[in-house]
Chains A and B, each alone.
Chain A
């Protein structure tokens, strides 16, 4: 068995307070043969991340109750055990500045809503497909 530091996780954290989005993303994650771990808001995601770092990627909504996506990214980028996790930010905001803020906080990819299923699928594939991926504006 590989030591933990070399093993690639097959789990993805999804944090979104919108049940439609959660279901949609979870469906794609499962199609990609990954396990989806779902949080219904930013605080729930934070609690999971406090004790669990076994994730290949995290897909976070920008605007969530209690703790926003940007705050979660900042937390993840200050914790050594969470730093290797690729992060995709999803938002319904049309403000281009948010993309810059997400990348400067440490996001790997950025996907604005609304998006087509094809675009979402392709962004998730890219996120999961390349562990060294940096800065994708999907």
Chain B
């Protein structure tokens, strides 16, 4: 996402999964809803493993594959495949609190791809940017939990 897009608050029209104030410059801390992620602590298993670390690992392994599938579908104008892959990424992102990636997925699901390839391209870039920001937060949380 470009600086202009951020200060113009272009996300205002997207129904948020968790409200993010418009016209606020986003930082890495906006990328992940830590409260939602940490709520998984109540499900910790008895075997001593850290469920949150496991979920972060699974997400960081799976999401790039989904994003690659989305990009490939966009390149080949396979809009049905694109929407399906976006749908999958949206679900896991939203549940782990990776809300800005989830919000970008919602925009991608709603866009009329055939009529707005430039719009799709911009959203794919936004998805990459938001995922990079979220990864930073998730990896930092992972590191913290393993110490």
Contact = CB atoms under 8 A, between A and B. Distances in A.
A128 B36 CA distance: 25
Interface string B25-66: 000000000001001101101000001001100110110000
B88 A117 contact: no
A21 B62 CA distance: 11
Contacts of B51: 24, 27
Nearest to B63: A20
Interface in B75-125: 84, 87-88, 90-92, 94-96, 102
Contacts of B87: 63, 92-93
B17 interface: yes
A10 interface: no
Nearest to B46: A31
Contacts of B92: 18, 20-21
Contacts of A115: 95
A23 B95 CA distance: 13
Contacts of B94: 92, 113-114
Contact of A23 (B58, B84, B102): B58
Contacts of A17: 88
A15 B62 CA distance: 17
A118 B42 contact: yes
- From A23, A24, A92, name the one whose CB has the most chain B CB atoms within 10 angstroms: A92
Nearest to A22: B58
Contacts of A21: 91-92, 95
Given A18-B62, A92-B94, A114-B94, A23 B55 contact: yes
Contacts of A20: 55, 58-59, 62, 92, 95-96
B125 to A, nearest CB: 23
B84 A117 contact: no
Nearest to B45: A27
A110 to B, nearest CB: 15
- From A20, A21, A30, name the one whose CB has the most chain B CB atoms within 10 angstroms: A20
Q: What are the nearest 10 A-B pairs in CB distance?
A: A92-B91, A114-B94, A20-B92, A19-B58, A114-B95, A20-B58, A113-B91, A18-B92, A117-B40, A117-B39
Given A20-B62, A23-B55, A114-B95, 12 more contacts: A19-B58, A19-B62, A20-B59, A20-B95, A23-B58, A28-B43, A31-B43, A63-B84, A63-B87, A92-B94, A117-B43, A121-B43
